[in-house]
Every structure is written in structure tokens, then in C-alpha cells.
Copies of this chain bind each other. A is one copy, B any other.
């Protein structure tokens, strides 16, 4: 992000448990700045800690505001999450598109999440530049606060990952070279010749092609090819104990 990570703003949250869960969801994806607007049960709320599951740092640093306007006063781009569009004239984005949008925004971003039961009020949505809506099952649609938070946090972190990724896809071991696969196949064919596998002779050629295709299909690692060679050797020269 060009101006720090976005702020997650919980507007009039009801249950402390849900604030804790939202903190956990945020920190899972590396976000820690939470702001809370007019929490129903006051703040700090002893019910929040246990569900935060170790994300207490987020709760400790959380700032409390009386109004949504104050909570986002220092932000340049405000996004409002709503479960369903309600004839809004503002641009509506899915979480992935919103994450892209925030990533390229110049200035601090805030994301508003409404109270559990009712969602954001019109007054709050008005503050926002854009709307974030998670496309959910129209026949069910029961996304809770922490779930909305985690989906947005997840999409935001995916964008960050793309820039800093390389560790994830690293394979632990090297892929086998083609020549090793050739030798593996030759070994297999030789071992099978001795068992009479390629009988009758008029079908041998087709069978060999099938086998070779099977052995080259999987993308074995060097280690795996060695293991296969060991398997074949064991069939060729059994030493029952």
C-alpha cells in the first residue's frame, strides 16, 4: 500500500466476541489497525480477548471513536462493506477488486464493517467512496462480521503476497532430468522383459508406449526416481527376510 496498511473500522459492533474474532481474522493476514465506533457494550470488552485467540495486540491498539466520521477523518479512501447492494449509486466492488483498488490508492484507506444484525446505516455508507460487496448465495446469505473481515483481509494480503511472494512455491527437491526418466523407463522395461510381461509380442510395442507415457507423466523428483529404481531392483532381486 502506498500509505500503510488499511484500517479496519468496526461500526457499532454488538458482541465483544465478534470484535475478538475480527481481530484474529485481521492479524491472520497481517493487518493490525482496528478502529471501533461506538461499541454497544463499551470498551475494553472482556469478551473480546478469548476469541481473539492471541491477537490481543490488535485489541490493545484499537482506537475507539464516537462517530464513523471521526474514525475515518485521517483517511483518504473509505470503503463500506454491505451484504447486498441497496440501489447505491456508488461503485460496487467485489473484495478482490476492492483490494486492487486500495492497493493502488494514494493515501490511507479505511474499510467500514457494520453491526452484526443490521449492517451499516445509510449515514455510514454515505461516507464511503465505494462499496464492497461479497457475492454470496442469494438463497442463504448469512455472512457474519468476522467472515466479512477475513475475506477482505485475505484479498488484501493476496495482493501484498504477489509482490513479495517467492518463498511459497519453492519445491523441496529437484525435478528429475529427462535422462533419469529415460533410465528409469529402461530399467522398468528390462525388469518386465524378464517376467514375461510383454507377451504376446504383437502387443508389446503398444504396451511399451503406454508404460513410458505413464512414467513420464508425473514429473517425479530426483529422489522419487531413485525410489522407483529401488522398487524395481527389489522386484528383480528379492531378498525375503
Contacts and interface: CB of A to CB of B under 8 A. Distances in A.
Interface in A206-222: 210-211, 214, 217-221
A37 interface: no
Contacts of A65: none
A29 B136 contact: yes
Interface residues of A, number: 65
A6 B225 CA distance: 32
A157 B142 contact: no
Interface stretch (A42-50, A88-96, A118-126): A88-96
Interface string A61-75: 000000000000000
Contact of A195 (B96, B161, B217, B238): B238
Given A147-B25, A196-B241, A230-B197, A137 B211 contact: no
A182 interface: no
A104 interface: no
B140 A54 contact: yes
Nearest to A201: B241
Contacts of A144: 24, 53
Interface centre among A133, A157, A238 (most CB of B within 10 A): A238
Interface string A230-241: 110011001111
A94 B168 contact: yes
A219 B116 CA distance: 33
A228 B214 contact: yes
Nearest to A161: B135
Given A27-B137, A28-B141, 20 more contacts: A24-B142, A28-B142, A29-B137, A30-B140, A55-B140, A87-B172, A92-B169, A134-B154, A135-B157, A150-B150, A191-B235, A194-B240, A196-B238, A196-B240, A196-B241, A199-B239, A210-B224, A210-B227, A214-B218, A235-B235
Interface string A1-42: 000000000000000000000001101111000000000000
A151 interface: yes
A199 B89 contact: no
